[in-house]
Chains A and B, each alone.
Chain A
Amino acid sequence: EIVMTQSPLSLSVTPGEPASISCRSSQSLLHSNGRNYLGWYLQKPGQSPHLLIYLGFNRASGVPDRFSGSGSGTDFTLKISRVEAEDVGVYYCMQGLLAPQTFGPGTKVDIK
């Protein structure tokens, strides 16, 4: 199975400052159709996870443009241009290329 890793595992950010999370996969997530099957999710405290980014860089409906995804192959990054208090929670990456679909361990983000 494809193993997903994330760094850092925890992050404390000052509001208004940028933040960045890295996600790496043990195999390339680039499909023959040219798309990277990598998604980013945020699980706020006490809530279900929700989709932020799909196919590596596409923002899901309603996601603020301060969130952006980049990368290809095995290395991906989620960036928050200016962190807001509502962005606290655990961020997960997930590969959807091959079954079993696998998640990274999560990055816990809190506010300083």
Chain B
Amino acid sequence: QVHLLQSGAEVKEPGASVKVSCKTSGYTFTDYYTHWVRQAPGQGLEWMGWISSNTGATNYAQKFQGRVTMTRDTSISTAYMELNRLTSDDTGMYYCVRDRHADYWGQGTLVTVSS
């Protein structure tokens, strides 16, 4: 069965960086893009971008351009999302998602930005 397992909760100070991992199983990792979606507390869903798990090509939402980096390690079927220069507005749950249809979601990683 398809499974996306994300890394654990993080607490960061403003200005710091966070890197979230998403280890996949149950399917051929390089056959699907990996997307990242975030959700601020009590708010809706916001698409951050995608990475081609095969080629490593990326496409980021303009809002996150220059602050986000998505990478992957095909040898361990894992995708990563790094967000820099964190502010309190970045507090929220971050999800990795399989493919443009978002057919499978990770369990989410809570990132808290606080001094």
Q: Which residues of A contact B (CB under 8 A)?
A: 37, 39, 41, 43, 48-51, 54-55, 60, 92, 94, 96, 99-106
Look across to chain B and name the residue whose beta carbon is closest to the beta carbon of A105.
Answer: B44
Nearest CB on A from B45, distance (A): 4
In the complex, which residues of chain B have a beta carbon less than 8 angstroms from the beta carbon of A51?
101-104
User: Quick check: is B35 within 8 A (CB to CB) of the other chain?
Assistant: yes
CB of B102 within 8 A of CB of A94, answer yes
Q: Mark B71-84, 1 if CB is under 8 A from A, else 0.
A: 00000000000000
Given A49-B45, A92-B45, also A101-B105 (CB < 8 A): no
Chain B residues 40 to 59 lying within 8 A of chain A, measured CB to CB, are 44-47, 49-50, 59
The 8 Å CB contact of A48, one of B62, B95, B103, is B95
Q: Number of contact residues on B: which range applies?
A: 20 to 34
The 8 Å CB contact of A96, one of B45, B62, B101, B107, is B101
Q: Which residues of B contact A (CB under 8 A)?
A: 35, 44-47, 49-50, 59, 61-62, 95, 100-108
Look across to chain B and name the residue whose beta carbon is closest to the beta carbon of A97.
Answer: B100
CB of A55 within 8 A of CB of B101, answer yes
CB of B45 within 8 A of CB of A103, answer yes
Look across to chain B and name the residue whose beta carbon is closest to the beta carbon of A55.
Answer: B101
In the complex, which residues of chain B have a beta carbon less than 8 angstroms from the beta carbon of A60?
103
CB of A48 within 8 A of CB of B101, answer no
Look across to chain A and name the residue whose beta carbon is closest to the beta carbon of B47.
Answer: A101
